[in-house]
Amino acid sequence: MAEIAEPLVLPEIEQDEQTKSKESLEPGYLVICWDDPVNLMDFVTHVFQAVFAWAKPKAEFHMRQVHNQGKSVLTRESLEKAEHFVHQLQKYSLHATMERD
């Protein structure tokens, strides 16, 4: 008569409720583009497409926010990525800043 193996029972492991993904632990930084009286709307749309690889409708949406509301929050990133995007936008002479979220 063959023996039936008992099912393997593993001890319960409590998961630490404070364990979160790396992204939720790192502070986020908002990349903001501000309106200026210099750059044309088509140019701003082009820059958003070039820097963020956005489709034209998304780039136009953010350009209109900048134009109509004075600013647009373009993305939320880690410190390094946010700095990179701000520098890229500034290379195109756009008024871009970042702030901690």
pLDDT at 87 over 70: yes
Q: Can you tell me the distance from the alpha carbon of 59 to that of 65, in angstroms, rounded to the nearest whole number?
A: 10
The CATH number given to whatever domain includes residue 88 is 3.30.1390.10
- What residues are paired with 31 via a beta bridge? 75, 98
Better-scored residue on pLDDT, 46 or 21: 46
Q: For the chain, what's the residue count? A: 101
Question: pTM for this structure?
Answer: 0.74
| Residue 41: C-alpha distances to residues 7, 60, 68, 91, 101 (Å) | 67, 8, 11, 17, 27
Better-scored residue on pLDDT, 39 or 26: 39
For the stretch 41-70, pLDDT in tens is 999 999 999 999 999 999 999 999 999 999
pLDDT score at 27: 76
Domain count, the chain: 1
What residues make up the domain containing 63? 38-96
